[in-house]
């Protein structure tokens, strides 16, 4: 059989909902013609979501500290302990930011921060408990396996105990953060002090087993090979086969400013779109696929809606981590909905669990709140911008 025929057969099987192997995924990623690849991925999306709805979310990423002992080379957000630009926010400041988010219609907060040397399980219990008590309507989709491993170590408890305790305190869902690249070689090159990819997955598996679902992410563009990108997908799918706990997969591209890795994003728009399409075909067990307009830009974000993507992510009322490294694509509610509608899809606001809160069947149904805009603060806003109301300093 010719390679063209082989590729065509794999695409057809995947489009029909069949499973493809990692080797087949790599062949599609590197060799499949772009348009048939996108058509197959979109066929999977259409079968899953035949009403043509593409969702978005309103949430706020709130950072409780930028102090971190892990020093990932790609990170522009963290400051080492005792650094003059290090800051921590008290609970009052976090609640003030949550209140602003609720006022603007947010349904979710993503509480993220560095690995502060003193933050054990008790810190997160208090934080989540306070947020849940003040805003029971907000879903706490927060932290990631790295933070869980760190807090368990600081408090000298097991991963299982840490997760049970923060779940009881109010954590609803674990963010897919910190996955970066899961295979060992590229992960060690960019984050030598971070837990291994296997440990990242182990924490997710324990959480899923305890009834806490999560998302999964991937940061591409730091020098990993095509085979390593597909290996990252395989590692996630193997866990998903056992747990069914990953709701969505969210690939994004490395941002090269203000960090120790520097260089440039080694993932072009086309590489991103191809990866998105292959992910849709490979993850027949992961329900949702989210594009990262923040890192790739709105044009690529919109194009991804024709490569199998069914979710355009969040407005992000506040984001400081990825924008610190150079991602400066802003949006607002009206524009994000417009991107979905002009891609010939039906926009709908969702919550964390992908329940549809409002489907905007026609432009007359579109929400008109012009205050719902993404805001990014600078990397070293004195005190992390404590006490400042939205808008924070916006990246220009």
Residue positions forming the annotated binding site:
68, 72, 74-75, 180, 292, 314
Cis peptide upstream of residue 391 (ω within 30 degrees of 0): yes
In whole angstroms, the minimum distance from the beta carbon of 191 to ligand SF4 comes to 6
Pairing of strands 346-350, 356-359: antiparallel
Q: Which of 29, 77, 124, 252 binds ligand SF4 (CB under 6 A)?
A: 77
Burial class (CB in 10 A: 0-12, 13-18, 19+), 70: middle
* Residue 121 vs 307, nearer CB to ligand SF4: 121
Read out DSSP for 69-133?
SS--TT-SS-B-TT-TT--B--HHHHHHHHHHHHHTT--EEEEE----TT--HHHHHHHHHHHHH
Asked if residue 174 binds ligand SF4 (CB under 6 A), the reply is no
Nearest CA to 66 among 318, 325, 383?
A: 383
Classify the C-alpha dihedral 53-58-59-60 as positive or negative: positive
| Stretch binding ligand SF4 (CB under 6 A), from 8-16, 65-73, 100-108, 302-310 | 65-73
Q: For residues 320 and 97, is the Cβ–Cβ distance under 8 A?
A: no
| Stretch binding ligand SF4 (CB under 6 A), from 49-57, 74-82, 263-271, 290-298 | 74-82
Q: What CA–CA distance (Å, rounded) separates 214 from 28?
A: 27
Nearest CA to 352 among 62, 133, 59?
A: 59
* Residue 8 vs 258, nearer CB to ligand SF4: 258
| Stretch binding ligand SF4 (CB under 6 A), from 63-71, 197-205, 225-233, 264-272 | 63-71
In whole angstroms, the minimum distance from the beta carbon of 62 to ligand SF4 comes to 14
In whole angstroms, the minimum distance from the beta carbon of 298 to ligand SF4 comes to 25
* Residue 44 vs 316, nearer CB to ligand SF4: 316
Number of residues binding to ligand SF4, judged by CB under 6 A? 10
**Strand segments (E) across 71-155:** 108-112, 139-142
Q: For residues 279 and 247, is the Cβ–Cβ distance under 8 A?
A: no
What's the count of helices (H) and strands (E) in the chain, helices before strands? 15, 11
* Residue 70 vs 243, nearer CB to ligand SF4: 70
Asked if residue 146 binds ligand SF4 (CB under 6 A), the reply is yes
Q: What CA–CA distance (Å, rounded) separates 313 from 366?
A: 17
In whole angstroms, the minimum distance from the beta carbon of 181 to ligand SF4 comes to 13
Q: What CA–CA distance (Å, rounded) separates 362 from 9?
A: 38
Contact set for ligand SF4, span 247-276 (CB under 6 A): none
In whole angstroms, the minimum distance from the beta carbon of 308 to ligand SF4 comes to 28
In whole angstroms, the minimum distance from the beta carbon of 263 to ligand SF4 comes to 17
Specify the 3-state DSSP secondary structure of 130.
helix
Q: Which of 15, 20, 75, 309 binds ligand SF4 (CB under 6 A)?
A: 75
| Stretch binding ligand SF4 (CB under 6 A), from 71-79, 196-204, 221-229, 250-258 | 71-79
Contact set for ligand SF4, span 101-120 (CB under 6 A): 114-115
Nearest CA to 392 among 131, 100, 126, 176?
A: 100
* Residue 192 vs 382, nearer CB to ligand SF4: 192
Q: For residues 212 and 173, is the Cβ–Cβ distance under 8 A?
A: yes
| Stretch binding ligand SF4 (CB under 6 A), from 31-39, 73-81, 225-233, 246-254 | 73-81
In whole angstroms, the minimum distance from the beta carbon of 114 to ligand SF4 comes to 4
- Radius of gyration, alpha carbons of the chain: 20
**Phi then psi dihedrals of residue 239, to 5 deg:** -70, -45
* Residue 112 vs 304, nearer CB to ligand SF4: 112
Within 10 angstroms of residue 258's Cβ, the number of other Cβ atoms is 14
In whole angstroms, the minimum distance from the beta carbon of 93 to ligand SF4 comes to 18
* Residue 79 vs 208, nearer CB to ligand SF4: 79
Q: What is the largest CA-CA distance in the chain?
A: 66
Q: What CA–CA distance (Å, rounded) separates 348 from 54?
A: 6
Asked if residue 70 binds ligand SF4 (CB under 6 A), the reply is yes
Q: Which of 29, 56, 78, 254 binds ligand SF4 (CB under 6 A)?
A: 78
Interacting residue ranges for ligand SF4, rule: CB under 6 A? 68, 70-72, 75, 77-78, 114-115, 146
């Amino acid at each position: 059989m010719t390679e063209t025929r082989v590729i065509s057969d794999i695409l057809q099987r995947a489009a029909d909902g069949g499973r493809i192997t990692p080797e087949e995924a790599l062949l599609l990623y590197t060799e499949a013609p772009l348009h048939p690849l996108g058509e197959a991925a979109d066929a999977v999306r259409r079968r899953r979501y035949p009403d043509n709805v593409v969702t978005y979310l309103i949430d706020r990423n709130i950072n409780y500290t930028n102090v971190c002992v892990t020093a990932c080379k790609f990170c522009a957000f963290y400051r080492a302990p005792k650094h003059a630009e290090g800051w921590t926010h008290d609970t009052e400041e976090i609640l003030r930011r949550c209140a602003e988010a609720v006022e603007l219609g947010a349904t979710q907060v993503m509480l993220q921060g560095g690995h502060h040397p003193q933050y054990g399980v008790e810190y997160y219990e208090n934080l989540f408990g306070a947020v849940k008590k003040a805003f029971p309507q907000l879903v706490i989709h927060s932290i990631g396996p790295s933070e869980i491993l760190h807090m368990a170590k600081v408090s000298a408890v097991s991963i299982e105990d840490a997760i049970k305790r923060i779940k009881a305190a109010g954590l609803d869902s674990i963010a897919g953060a910190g996955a970066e690249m899961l295979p060992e070689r590229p992960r060690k090159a960019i984050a030598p002090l971070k837990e291994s990819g296997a440990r990242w997955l182990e924490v997710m598996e324990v959480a899923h087993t305890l009834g806490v679902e999560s998302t999964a992410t991937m940061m591409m563009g730091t020098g990993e090979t095509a085979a390593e990108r597909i290996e990252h997908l395989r590692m996630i799918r193997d866990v998903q086969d056992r747990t069914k706990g990953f709701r969505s997969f969210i690939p994004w591209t490395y941002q090269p400013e203000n960090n120790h890795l520097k260089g440039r994003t080694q993932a072009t728009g086309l590489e991103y779109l191809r990866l998105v399409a292959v992910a849709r075909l490979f993850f027949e067990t992961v329900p949702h696929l989210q594009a990262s307009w923040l890192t790739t830009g709105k044009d690529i974000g919109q194009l991804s809606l024709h490569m199998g993507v069914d979710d355009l992510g969040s407005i992000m009322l506040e984001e400081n981590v990825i924008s610190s490294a150079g991602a400066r694509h802003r949006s607002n509610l009206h524009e994000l909905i417009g991107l979905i509608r002009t891609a010939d899809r039906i926009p709908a606001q969702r919550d964390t669990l992908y329940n549809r809160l409002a489907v905007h069947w026609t432009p007359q149904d579109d929400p008109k709140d012009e205050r719902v805009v993404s805001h990014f603060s600078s990397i070293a806003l004195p005190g992390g911008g404590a006490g400042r109301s939205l808008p924070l300093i916006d990246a220009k």
